Chains A and B, each alone.
Chain A
């Protein structure tokens, strides 16, 4: 059982978790590309007291998505997170990047740069979705067998963490007397070799403010012991709790439950769901799904608080459900101390009560 109040995260990708969400809000269909809309929503989440905003993403889209009538456009997640980093002051920002489509050297620098620009508020949602066109899009062999995929994800995460450590925190010395800008003994080649890639040198970007950007991954994608935050889902509360206990047992430092929400708004949740479902099928995902009243969600949060450190909410329609969350759900959760909001000038690690990681290279030197 967790003794700390819950942290609350929200995914603000696109128009919402329901595939028909683009029809339901008051925004125009191209709002998913509008910087003003992105700004408005992330600010609403920050003002509402969320600790973390995640931005779902994938490098490619499939012909199936295009033809199904769903939203077929999406801006790069790291780019979106960096953009809103200057418009916010306390909310964590975690874009999703799937390791199989990523160049580890670039990814480490991108996420470290996001952490620098946001003054320590960066996270990374590690995903591993099925992307049928991925290998064709990036013109290389992409691991496909489950065991190979698992290995690749773990190798990329390990390599990116090592690249963040390749600079010691105090590598920049600006020693005017000797004319040295850095102490070269405090910058290390990562020298990683895996079955599918190798990285030789140090990162081009200094160690990020948090030491490591917060690594957030579903328990199905990454060994909970190597993540900072494990995401767990399930068809019902019992399954979520069971997986949370298992992730914790496997060494997860923090566990967040993924919950899709569709709430009563101007119209009832049932009517809203029926209207959305009439347009497109809301296929089940790994997340727990909650359709109901704000009060019902409070009870669910109370239940989950026994097993997890936080909840990541996926609003069915961002434009409709996010305001309900910030007006009617979060204030109650904070007032009853079931959940807590981040403080100003806190890093994301600070808000999650996670320690700043030691540098693997200084540990090796000490050993």
Chain B
């Protein structure tokens, strides 16, 4: 059944009947969702794996290829976490290599504002943007803990409350660096008096509470102006940051339509409050696809997959992290521990990545699931490991994706393949054609830059609008 043939749904009206689905691929690298133990799994490090995924995504007309980042190897209770994929390439270096073997797909590097310098990071991103012909993007993330800081010159210098202060200042400084060359700065013939027109390169002097830089930049603007900005934080501070500074928000609200619509309303309200058009920020939640020839086959595959993702050892590791003690000697097919975890705050940065927040609450949730349904440790962890995923036939998944986009809940999705390097093949070969049949997916790249793929305004328009708002505020 196609989306247009659906009965009208008063709770989820179709507000954008011609909207199309944007797809990106998120190569996470480090998490328990990548099934490295499968015989079909290739190297997580070799360049050929990344190249194969990027080429498949480009064949499927994806907007972007997206690399995550980590700045210290993860630990569980003081020991290196050894159950998931460990180790990955530097994102900008890897994407620069991929820029040479792809021609259209966007290249998104997750990079931290806490342990980088704008003069250096903005330059590296701008270099990738120029070499790729305007396909670069920066997924802005923050860190604030001394444990990560111990790998860097500044150490753990930034308070939690200041991480978005620095992120915002960092992005403003980066924009100033990216905009420092006038578009006609460089001589067009070898007979002109100098290589660059005097005064056409503006030295950047930025001084904020946490960012200070004085630099004459060395990289001009790319065909898309400058890198697209992604943001992935979900806290109120993160959402406000995205509303003010981002072009794309990489959310975790992409599996339940009501939840996704509520998130979209909140983001659009914040975007409007920041003085931008409400649809100025594209919403692309992370997700994964589990496809089968029938609904039953897809569900069966999903059940198998989650057991591959959460082995007994992984279940015990997640439990050990929540309880704050080594529980690896327990039987994963046995009952949960009968004592409560010691009260403390869980940190994703140092932990397994699966559990965050309040240990007592997480333990209560696991217990109530286990008691209600008679679940073992592993089954209880599986039941609470809610990962957004679309499970079904290519046709039914396509229907649901179109509905998410045309109700205005999202603009598209960032897909994480659970198998490297072939995990996108089915998506490109079977799901994309279904979307195209519904006129909900492009049949060719219409532009050459990432900004064009995403339908974003030029970086100068966004910038100009913001300057106008700032002038208004100052004047008021």
Contact = CB atoms under 8 A, between A and B. Distances in A.
Interface of A: 22-24, 28-30, 33, 35, 38-39, 59-63, 66-67, 69-76, 78-80, 82-87, 101, 103-106, 109-110, 112-114, 116-117, 119, 133, 136-140, 167, 171-172, 174, 176, 178-184, 187, 196-206
B90 A182 contact: no
Given A75-B219, A114-B93, A172-B45, A105 B152 contact: yes
Interface of B: 36-37, 44-47, 51, 69-73, 79-80, 82-90, 92-94, 96-101, 115-117, 119-120, 123-124, 126-128, 130-133, 150-155, 181, 186-196, 198, 201, 203, 211-220, 311-314
27 contacts: A28-B190, A29-B186, A29-B188, A29-B192, A35-B100, A38-B131, A67-B198, A71-B195, A72-B216, A74-B218, A79-B131, A83-B100, A86-B100, A103-B152, A112-B89, A116-B47, A133-B214, A138-B120, A174-B36, A178-B313, A180-B82, A182-B80, A196-B153, A199-B152, A202-B73, A203-B87, A204-B72
B196 A117 contact: no
A264 B294 CA distance: 73
B96 A206 contact: no
Given A60-B215, A172-B45, A70 B195 contact: yes
A133 B215 contact: yes
A181 B94 contact: no
Contacts of A181: 36, 82-86
A69 B195 contact: yes
Nearest to A63: B216
Given A62-B216, A204-B69, 20 more contacts: A29-B188, A29-B195, A35-B99, A59-B119, A59-B123, A72-B195, A79-B93, A79-B127, A104-B153, A109-B89, A133-B214, A139-B117, A172-B87, A174-B37, A178-B313, A179-B37, A181-B85, A199-B150, A201-B151, A206-B45
B99 A83 contact: yes
A75 B127 contact: yes
A340 to B, nearest CB: 27
A334 to B, nearest CB: 28
Contacts of B155: 198
A182 B97 contact: no
B314 A138 contact: no
A205 B90 contact: yes
A206 B87 contact: yes
Contacts, number: 234
Contacts of A199: 150-152
A201 B150 contact: yes
Nearest to B36: A181
Contacts of A28: 188-190
Contact of A103 (B73, B131, B153, B192): B153
A80 B127 contact: yes
A278 to B, nearest CB: 13
Interface centre among A63, A140, A204 (most CB of B within 10 A): A204
A101 B120 contact: yes
A33 B100 CA distance: 15
B45 to A, nearest CB: 6
The 6 closest A-B pairs by CB, nearest first: A200-B150, A82-B96, A69-B194, A113-B89, A179-B313, A75-B127
Given A179-B313, A181-B82, A197-B153, A22 B195 contact: yes
Contact of B124 (A33, A76, A136): A76
B163 to A, nearest CB: 17
Given A80-B131, A117-B97, A73 B215 contact: no
B82 A184 contact: yes
Contacts of B83: 179-181
A256 B84 CA distance: 44
B80 A184 contact: yes
Contacts of B191: 23
Given A73-B220, A82-B97, A167 B87 contact: yes
Contact of B201 (A72, A75, A76, A84): A72
B217 to A, nearest CB: 8
A138 B213 contact: yes
A73 B219 CA distance: 6
A195 B104 CA distance: 46
A182 B133 contact: no
Nearest to A38: B131
B314 to A, nearest CB: 7
